[in-house]
Amino acid sequence: MVFKKLFKGKGTGEHAVVEDDGELSIEDLITLERYDEAEGRLKALLKKEPNNLHGHLKLADVYTEQGRREAAADEYLFAADEYARDGFFDKGMALLARALKLTPGEERLRHKLYVLERAKGLEHKRSAAIDGLRKSRHEDDGSGIKILLLQRNWLALATSPLLQRLTVDQLRRFFAGVEMVKLEAGEVLATRGSDHDGLYLLASGKVESSLIRAGGQRTPLREFGPGQLIGEAATLERRTWPAEYAVAEDALALKLDRAGLEHCLAGNTDPRGFLETLRTDGNDRQIAEMVDKLEGKS
């Protein structure tokens, strides 16, 4: 009689181990504490199927029983990376926790655990952002296109100090209130002294602020790129724009006007905290201070 033990590799449906009648399985060898034989069989399996996660975890068990803790931790680390790559962050973190019990002083594992915890948090925020776009007040924009643009630019947005500060609920509200806009190079978003509202979070491209002096002389002040926020002065504080803001490189931005802001605040349990989070960067205030210095006002 022929029987098979199913050691399926990740993403494959092939049987990793086929054993004839009378041959002990890898599990049997481990139970009988014949660890050297089990290790040999597992290494042969992994040579054929390097991504067989079940095989790596069994090898980690064998190394643990042999007292080879660092080798076992390496196997757990490999499996954790693979699970995290597929989005299974909780599984990956559980394996790293197991590895840390074996090698508690291993800083590399602690750093990896921190990385996965942060990646899990960012994934939750990405899901919240997508959910917000689906509930957007701009119903005529087509959520499918907006979600695709968000996916393409998420890595740049995820590094934004604003998105890192917003809670999951605040972020969902923010994305429900914004309009996704494409900005063309050369377009002037605002001139100095204008008071039209519009808070812009850049997802790609560049915007340059400049002081335009009498006679048209232009003094560049600061350039803004992906993840940075401009326009809080006019939108949140009802002040005028402190300088000219022009698109220096084709850009994609999330625009929040006052109507969108009201949408974000409706039903918000902490509206003041939400507003403070939006104005924390204070980029417009910094530009205003630069202008004052250039004009000798401070």
Burial of 131 (0-12, 13-18, 19+ CB in 10 A): middle
| CATH of residue 187 | 2.60.120.10
* Cβ atoms < 10 Å from Cβ of 2: 7
pLDDT of residue 76: 95
Tokens found for residue 200: 């812009």
Maximal CA-CA distance, the chain: 96
* CA distance linking residue 129 with residue 174, whole number of Å: 8
Is 18 part of any domain? yes
Comparing CA positions, the residue from 289, 260, 267 lying closest to residue 177 is 260
CATH label of the domain that carries residue 58: 1.25.40.10
Q: Count the domains in the chain.
A: 2
Q: Indicate if 79 and 189 belong to the same structural domain.
A: no
| Residues 183, 261 share a domain | yes
Q: The pTM is what?
A: 0.70
Q: Residue 195 sits in which domain range?
A: 155-294
Block means of pLDDT (10 residues each) for the chain, length 298 residues? 38 39 83 94 95 95 95 95 90 95 93 91 88 74 72 85 90 91 95 93 96 88 95 92 96 93 90 91 94 86
Give, to the nearest 10 degrees, the angle between helix 168-177 and helix 271-279. Answer: 80
Domain end among 96, 121, 146? 121
* Predicted confidence (pLDDT) per residue in 104-133, tens digit: 989 999 999 999 998 888 888 989 988 888
Domain boundary among 73, 97, 121: 121
